[in-house]
Amino acid sequence: MSEKPLFLGVAAASSNEQSVAETLAAALSVPVVPPNLDETGLLLLVKETALQLQQIGPDAPGPVWVDFVEGKAAHRRKFGGGRGQPLAKAIGLKKGWTPRVLDMTAGLGRDAFVLATLGCEVEMMERSPVVHALLADGLERAREDADIGSIISRMKLQHLDGRLYRTAHERPEVVYLDPMYPHREKSAKVKKEMRLFQLLLGDDQDSAELLETALTLASRRVVVKRPAKAPFLAERKPSVSISSPNTRYDIYLTGSHNAAT
């Protein structure tokens, strides 16, 4: 595997964003760098429109940022198949039951947003400070939106390694895991977001441990998202799986009163 590229720091797109960039850089304990830095690596770019993760150097893909208001997330909210979509079935959504979900691998919050759109309260955890900053920025910008503000209010984000999570109150009914999976193919087949994430984070080597924690926490089920042909996480056979063309959801029932779907 190639080495992780250097995370270079936080840059401001213009002088208007300089003080925000400085505050964020201090919070992440990384330097403030110029946006046109002549190096290769990754940086967070503070723009008026959004916080962006950007690779710089030859063959770099475009930036990644979190946008719940427009683009893919909005499209999926409107046309994604509602409660009939595989993710909704996997977490067990049905009439009269809308579970509280703990998403221990929040990433860019896309799956959590789908679940919140369907009415779930979603507690999210993200351990990477850079990914956490991107997601926190996306949530903040969407919070005041007239159409989706109420959905965003169901999403709570913590900067935490899920393995350290302890319930303060009620146990989550469903724990959802979507750890980084080692994609070996190059370029177009692997989406831009995943390529940047793999450069930034590498693979999640400790996801077997996360599954163990999840199984002790969930009062009803743990759902693990995997590529369609991937082996089971930690070679642990699920109670049942739900498959779509590219993705498989492995379901581990943990409660006594469970129906599989």
Ligand X SMILES: C[S@@+](CC[C@H](N)C(=O)[O-])C[C@H]1O[C@@H](n2cnc3c(N)ncnc32)[C@H](O)[C@@H]1O
Residues that bind ligand X in the complex, under the rule CB under 6 A: 104-105, 107-111, 125-128, 131, 161-163, 178-180, 201, 204, 210
Query: In angstroms, rounded to a whole number, what is the distance separating the alpha carbons of residues 39 and 46?
Result: 18
Cα 169 to Cα 46, 166, 172, 194, 218: the distances in Å are: 36, 9, 9, 34, 13
Question: At closest approach, how far in Å is the CB of 107 from ligand X?
Answer: 3
Of 41 and 107, which has the nearer Cβ to ligand X? 107
The distance of closest approach from Cβ of residue 159 to ligand X in the complex, given in angstroms and rounded to an integer, is 9
User: How many Cα atoms within 13 Å fall on the side-chain side of residue 238?
Assistant: 22
Give the C-alpha separation, 31 to 6, whole Å: 12
Residue closest to ligand X, measured at CB: 107
3-state secondary structure of 9: strand
Nearer to ligand X, 1 or 259 (CB): 1
C-alpha distances (whole Å) from 57 to each of 43, 53, 72, 221 are: 11, 13, 27, 43
Instruction: Name which of 197 and 219 has its Cβ closer to ligand X.
Output: 197
CB of 77 to ligand X, least distance (A): 13
Nearest-approach distance from CB 154 to ligand X, in angstroms: 15
Provide the CA 120 distance to its chain's centre, in angstroms.
Answer: 16
Strands (E), 95-137: 101-103, 122-126
Least distance from ligand X to the Cβ atom of residue 150, Å = 20
Answer for the pair 219, 173: CB distance below 8 angstroms, yes or no: yes
Which is closer to ligand X, CB of 110 or CB of 141?
110
Closer residue to ligand X (CB): 162 or 238: 162
